[in-house]
Structure 1
Amino acid sequence: MRVSRVWMLLVVALLVACGDGGPASGSISGLVGFISGGGQTGAIQVSQRPFAQTSETDFVPGEVIVKFRPGVSLQTVGRLQVAGVELQRVEDLDTQGMALFRGVAGKPQTLEVVQALSRRADVLYAQPNYIRQAFKTPNDSFYNLQWHYPAINLPAAWDIEDGVDPTVVVAVIDSGIVGAHPDIPKPILGYDFISNPQIANDGDGRDNNPEDTGNVARDVPEEALTGYHGTHVAGTVAAATNNNLGVAGVSWGARLLHIRALGVGGGSDADIIAALRWAVGLSVSGVPANPNPAAVVNMSLGGRGTCTPAWQDTINQAAAQPQRPIIVVAAGNSAENASGFTPASCSGVVTVGATETRGFRSYYSNYGPRIDVMAPGGDTSTDRNADGYVDGVLSPLKDDTKTGDNQFVYGFYQGTSMASPHVAGLVALMKARRPDLTYSEALDILKSTAVPLSGASCTGRPSDQIAPSFPTLTSSDCGAGLVNAQAAVNAVGNVTPSFTLVLSPTSATLSPTSGSSVDISVSIARIAGFTNAVSLTLSGAPSGVSGQFTPSSVTGNSSTLRLQVSGSPTPGTYNLTINGSGGSINRSVGLALRVGTAAPPPTVQGTAVFALYIAGNDIDLEKSAIVSISQTGLSAPYQFNNLAGGDYVVIAWKDLDGDDDITPGDYLGGYTNADGDLLLVRPTANNINVPLSVVQGTQNLRLPGLEGVSLLPSLRQLYRR
């Protein structure tokens, strides 16, 4: 999902493209640049879903999260004058110097403010207030079989522990709850942390009512609405079970704490961070204390970009709470490396990818070294188990077109959003069996009892949804594999001395310049009195990159891995593995390494923006247009005037190496929908914003329904004129 204004733009663009008639000529305008992650870019493969990047609206304009250095009192920085913008402190996000500031500024100016603040000596870090979205793909089919529970051996786990006694508090930070649904247990009093009334869609800002407003706002495009995502997720965690009604939950007795942080189009980092703090019992300015701190937290949400300091800071504070909360998060649905998504890439969380009925990775699921385990997320594009229904995950929903009891229904969604609550519910069962279970212990048990996926199963073929250009994955790209609920619950009652490895950060970037280096903290989390020395080794580093552990044989709890460029490594993304061996136990953890520049070029100057006119299954170059960006900065406006009436796609390219061709290392972007598919635009259209990302391949761009259109050849031809 996206913020409402984004979806409005997308829907308007589609309606204009498909409508009858239209103006004879017009304009197309918007922003182009590094507008998806505060000046950072990731590597993209120009393939089936080439531009599934966050758009310009994925952070709140004029809002910045700032963490000041120790010794700086927030009371002394109520107002800031930065880069020509006056900022006011509007919310203290913790008691250690983190706060949300707000001023009147557009997107590009907000990024300039972030850069200026980051250079201040009294600031630890500054970042935009990013927008995160729920990870699910809705569908309109229903079925009455929960195939996803036997897939993880859950019925056998219930024979050991059903979660009824003692109960465990599970916080679901999501879009809220349909409290009247008969298959949702009576919840603990939760909270609504959405501060923007338009996003909240309930007439006000923060309050103690986490009810999901769902689809009641008829003036909001369907794609921007919550779809009762939070209710679906909560039902998987702990729907009322053994009650002769509807569906079962993973935990039969978990106490659900519903916390609303996602509204129309998603939610901001400031709101979600406040929700996470409150969920685990940390203080939140202006909000009453949570009397029921959660032992387990599920976050089926996220967005692009590696884990930001504000997120990691909050997760670290949450982990230190006395109830030892365990945070479970969705990996993301972009079929990309999960190390490029937040909070999936953060340290100290359990990151969950998705599988389908065959036990294969679902075609949309993110993958890579940051995946801890997999769980059922479904695939609503098919019926592989031949039961007459699409293979999604079944859970409670609400149908706003019906009244009375008929509005309380059940439906199938697919996504890592549906996989994550399977693991959160399983952790609740484990916590019921042993309340003092720690994150490190739970992670070790989940991973050591999981059933590994083969490389072929992790890749996910055969599947009509996976493009031929999709990379061949290895077993480790799906983490430890599919969770085994029975083995995990059984292991909680038979904990033996062991250890697990935890990295911070979970990914790294190196400049290809000789001598550049980066340090990774490797924590050895010792379990049940494990005292053996742990020997650490590294595998998978590319030629030209070396790694050294200090120390390499660890008798304490930590070591430092220094990765250093000692040659001329080829730019790209590499999956490294850190192996630990102690006694007769072997453990490993993945690390994503990107070799390349740590940040995009300091300017978008020289970027070419193309409006390619679509004529049937071809490009009409005479009606197409190109403009060049002359401004400097991370982003800049562009505008096409006097365009002929008709359908266009908008693409931007910066020829970084000057070879007049689209080659790896260049920057490329397109105006797309949330799935990364190029959208048709018909003049006049504004706010057609194009984010740039690093190119790693040169396959054709995807234009659904018009796969025969030769986009890249036409783009090159127009560029060389």
Structure 2
Amino acid sequence: MNNKLVVISLILLILFLTGCHHSNITYIDGKVVDQNYQPIEGIRVKYEGSVVETNSWGRFGFSLFVDQPEFIEITFDGTHLGFGKMTRTVQVCPNTNYSMGTIKMERNLALVYGTVTYPHPDTIYANTLNTERIELPAIDGPAYVDGEIIVKFKDIIQTQSVKTLSTEIGIEILSKSSNGQFINIKTSDDIIETIQALEKRPDVEYAEPNYYLYPLSNSKINSLSYERDYDQQWNLQAINIENALKEVPNSSDIIVAVLDTGIKKGVPDLDSNILWDLGYDFVEDDNDPGVFWNSHGTRVAYIINSVTGNSVSILPIRILRSATNDTAWGTTWELIEGLEYAIQIADVINLSVAIKTPYGDIQSVSDIIKEAEEAGVLIIAAAGNDGYSSPAYPASDSRVLSVGAVGPSLQPASYTNRGVDIYAPGGDYNLYPIGKENTIWVGDGWAEGTSLASAHVAGVAAMILAKEDLTPSELRSRLRNTSLKLAYDDGAGLVDAYRAVTGIEHGRIFVFVGKKDYWWDEISYNTEESTYTYAKEINGYWENYFEITTVEPGDRWIYAWIDRDANKTLNNGDYFAEKWIPDLKPGEARRVDLVLEYYYD
């Protein structure tokens, strides 16, 4: 009997002990608020090796094992949020939940918050334009050449097929493409009916009107000199060209084709880089694409040459005829001929033109663009100057890199089409205060337009190819991914020449606070002995808000910095802003808005 009692007692003891073990879990919770009784998120609540953080309601909770009544210390750490650190001692008992109630923490550091934006002066647009400005005539005439049709055959065109076509439909053969698949014809019959008749033929793939195309530069203000100091060329500074040229000082092995109005002969710094012996004039159908006036094509070539440090090889191809020195026009047929020719020679093709059509893509041009892609040639095109939400054609083709324009504020220009792949300087005459300095220096004067923006990107593309061999798809991705994201509404960025040639993608905007003993102290964030405390970095893509919660009280400086050449030292080409914050008080929250500016020493 005694043995049985002993066994039963042991079993009961084991059960009791086991039950006690499971019942000795104690739960502790509470809420942390600031001096204004607002909940604080992110306070670190620590007990021995355990850490939990308060949630968005300021609440916390954790469990611990307690085998007997005892006093424990719980630490509330808010130093990373500017609230310092405090310790509370509480008595806990086994199998007892304990609420610490509301714990108030006062901020002993200051909070600095605000926004970082890019240069964006008040943009006041003129009711009437300055009389110096010369506008292109409104493009409100017919969309295509009367009676002309471009026909693509399914196979290489045979002479007999052309003769048969001419006899059966009653058309005049104007020209035949070099690849043998396109012909340009003229009919006196209704153009739509003729196209329908052609497309019923088994040997014809499609037929379409011969559309007009136009240059995309808005204006020019005359000047007498080709010389202009670098510090007056905001456009070159904006794309970080000075640092890029240190990486790629020579791009002469790369050929950029300029399909435009032809190029003026004898322009200083430009003439020697033009491949005159390889160029062609598809307007006059001869091998002399040179002109004797400061044409649209001359300005485009001038920008490409300037971007590359006067070192690129430019292939002149004339596809636009000029009515005056400032207006020009061409046709789809001449564009097709020019593209076919350029594909055989060039590495990059610049198209600062747009086709006037309400019908979207032009099939014949899209086919040639596909040929360029397959041949390893990137086409870069101006987006258009209509202020539309999408690019004009051919910039709208998915295999073409479309380029919009920014003014000196680095914001999209008042006229530029949006929805582009990338932005580049094109000028914006109407920015306040109105003046030529808001436009682009083009060798013989000042101009604006997405034509010039496209030329900047073409020059940068040439510099990339001078350093490494990329496919058109890789080149498009490189330019887009390394662009400086300026929170444009279509998500595109500003071309950055240095980042593009090095392949370094843009990271974040550095925002930091420090105490500066002397105004000339060097700004740096890569050395331990720096007097500046790195505080936070913010995404520069869509977000421009920052909040620094751990600022020491007193007189402070706040800085925002985009280190565009990634050398961790403030120098030419970076974007930078600084502002003095006097007499910052403990617990104070002060707003400071920063406007980045181009840094040029």
- State if a TM-score over 0.5 links the two structures: yes
* TM-score between the two structures when normalised by the length of structure 2: 0.55
Unaligned runs of 5+ in 2: 1-127, 129-136, 323-327, 506-601
1:380 aligns with 2:413: no
Classify 1:262/1:190 alpha carbon distance in 2 versus 1 (closer, same or farther; 3 Å): farther
2:397 pairs with one of 346, 357, 379: 346
Shift of 1:383: 5.5
Residues 404-424 of structure 1: CA deviation (Å, up to 9, x unaligned): xxxxxx211100001001000
Equivalent residue for 1:167? 253
1:134 aligns with 2:215: yes
Equivalent residue for 1:650? none
Instruction: Indicate the RMSD between aligned Cα atoms, in angstroms.
Output: 2.7
Residues 246-297 of structure 1: CA deviation (Å, up to 9, x unaligned): xx4434311111111111231111111111111121xxxxxxxxxxx11111
Equivalent residue for 2:448? 414
Structure 1 or 2, whichever has the larger Rg, is: 2
5 Å-filtered alignment, 1:221-240, equals 228-238=295-305
Partners of 1:331 and 1:365 within 8 A in 2: yes
5 Å-filtered alignment, 1:122-521, equals 122-140=203-221, 145-164=232-251, 167-186=253-272, 187-188=274-275, 189-195=277-283, 205-214=284-293, 228-238=295-305, 248-264=306-322, 265-281=328-344, 293-305=345-357, 306-321=360-375, 324-339=376-391, 341-368=392-419, 371-382=420-431, 389-396=436-443, 410-434=444-468, 436-454=469-487, 458=488, 474-476=489-491, 480-491=492-503
Q: How many residues align?
A: 355
Partners of 1:89 and 1:99 within 8 A in 2: yes
Partners of 1:312 and 1:346 within 8 A in 2: yes
Classify 1:72/1:93 alpha carbon distance in 2 versus 1 (closer, same or farther; 3 Å): closer
Shift of 1:87: 1.3
Secondary structure of the residue aligned to 1:374 is strand
Give the partner amino acid of 1:157.
Answer: A
Give the partner amino acid of 1:303.
Answer: I
In structure 2, C-alpha distance between the alignment counterparts of 1:489 and 1:138, rounded to whole Å: 31
Partners of 1:250 and 1:422 within 8 A in 2: no
Give the partner amino acid of 1:277.
Answer: E
Classify 1:193/1:185 alpha carbon distance in 2 versus 1 (closer, same or farther; 3 Å): closer
In structure 2, C-alpha distance between the alignment counterparts of 1:161 and 1:346, rounded to whole Å: 30
Classify 1:74/1:310 alpha carbon distance in 2 versus 1 (closer, same or farther; 3 Å): farther
Shift of 1:90: 3.0
Secondary structure of the residue aligned to 2:279 is strand
Partners of 2:239 and 2:494 within 8 A in 1: yes
Unaligned runs of 5+ in 1: 1-47, 196-204, 215-226, 239-247, 282-292, 397-409, 459-473, 495-721
Residues 195-236 of structure 1: CA deviation (Å, up to 9, x unaligned): 4xxxxxxxxx2111111254xxxxxxxxxxxx5111110000
Shift of 1:345: 1.6
5 Å-filtered alignment, 1:94-133, equals 94-95=178-179, 97-104=181-188, 109-133=190-214
In structure 1, C-alpha distance between the alignment counterparts of 2:218 and 2:329, rounded to whole Å: 14
Residues 385-405 of structure 1: CA deviation (Å, up to 9, x unaligned): x9x743111112xxxxxxxxx
Residues 582-638 of structure 1: CA deviation (Å, up to 9, x unaligned): xxxxxxxxxxxxxxxxxxxxxxxxxxxxxxxxxxxxxxxxxxxxxxxxxxxxxxxxx
Runs (4+) of structure 1 moved beyond 4 Å?
141-144
In structure 2, C-alpha distance between the alignment counterparts of 1:428 and 1:332, rounded to whole Å: 22
Residues 495-514 of structure 1: CA deviation (Å, up to 9, x unaligned): xxxxxxxxxxxxxxxxxxxx
In structure 1, C-alpha distance between the alignment counterparts of 2:178 and 2:389, rounded to whole Å: 31
The structure whose RCO (Cα within 8 Å, separation 6+) is larger is 1
Secondary structure of the residue aligned to 2:233 is coil
Partners of 1:190 and 1:259 within 8 A in 2: no
Partners of 2:281 and 2:288 within 8 A in 1: no
Shift of 1:69: 2.3
Shift of 1:68: 1.9
Residues 107-154 of structure 1: CA deviation (Å, up to 9, x unaligned): xx2233223323444322111111100001113255752100111111
Partners of 1:356 and 1:391 within 8 A in 2: yes
5 Å-filtered alignment, 1:507-656, equals none
1:62 aligns with 2:147: yes
